[in-house]
A and B are shown apart, each in its own frame.
Chain A
Amino acid sequence: MTTDPVPLLPRGTRLHQDRVRDTWVLLVPERALLLDEIGTAILQEVDGRSSLAAISCRLAERYGAPEPDVASDVREFLDGLVGQRLVDYQ
């Protein structure tokens, strides 16, 4: 695996706007993960083309936050999902 992988939502995992609870959720087999604002922002950038660095760069710009901090948040969040096979790195 490269050090700057491209994350991708595999088939069977999808982002969904939950209007009843007024939040975004990640729908996955057997579960629905309620997302906070940061999780939502990260997953909305996961398009199967952008690398982690590209995603972190965009988010850092949008939120006016230091890029290394954003990059480590993004990495940690997505690594957790990869470990559960809910996101793939390619």
Chain B
Amino acid sequence: MTVFVIRRLMQAFLVVFLMSVIVFFGVNIVGDPIYMLVSPDADQADIEAAIRRLGLDRPIWEQYFLFLKGAVQGNLGDSFVFGQPALKLILHHMPATLELAFSALFLAIVFGIPLGLFSGLYPDNPVSKGIMAGSILGFSLPTFWVGLMLILLFAVELGWLPSTGRGDTASVFGIQTSLATWDGIRHIFLPALNLSLLKISLAIRLTRAGVREAMGQDYVKYARAKGVSTKRIIFVHVMKNIMIPVVTVMGLEFGSLIGFSVVTETIFAWPGMGKLLIDAILQLDRPVVVAYLMIMVLFFVLINLMVDILYSILDPRVRLQDQGA
């Protein structure tokens, strides 16, 4: 297990390094940020001074080398726009995004798994058909459109919930979260629901497919032949088996929740990393874009690692050291 984790961390290091090359050179191809940063009536001397100040006069490989040198020391460069370290900016916006993503994951699990279980156990029931139709909608409707509809319905028409921004936060174990205040929960509900719709649909489909497959397995028939109650068959025999794919996939999807939050955060003016990224892209704030992407890569690598570990805990047949490099 320890060997496995160390090897995976070394792989992660390599992945992050390769990504840094791609991201850094990629970002340098799109647009010249200098005209976004200097005032329109600045003269040539001002522009050149700005270019020098930002280090953009050096050859690209030298810029990259300097970036890498800083990165090793935990410095991903300063934001062109804010003049602050990019990493600090991102970390500052991270809790808002994480609580949004966790709330969405929570909704996906508490709605998706029971609905999927029901429709898997009673596939011919009209309610199940309704659930499946709903999940198709959840998959196919674009997130931004659903977000706008949610705002229209709950915020504009009914006026039940606020449509923009993050509400009050309170500190729990030293973390500022809106989940600790009623106002905060009211604010996070719509964006979290919007972000989770796709994942609710995914959880429904996964659970349903798993239940239907498991119910036809010999081990279910054998358990019935032992006289085991239906409740125990469903919640012990079947659930324990389908939790393996469900947890694995939902865990891996957590990274994409953070990624997708870019759209949701923009619609709901949620002050998270996604919103920061969009603003940074519009202003060609290269260091922030690069830092965001690096952090996302790190996130995905860590999530994968955690899912692998979780998987080996859930499935007794899997042992981590058995997996090759």
Same assembly? no
Q: Which B positions have Cβ atoms within 8 angstroms of A?
A: none
Q: Which A positions have Cβ atoms within 8 angstroms of B?
A: none
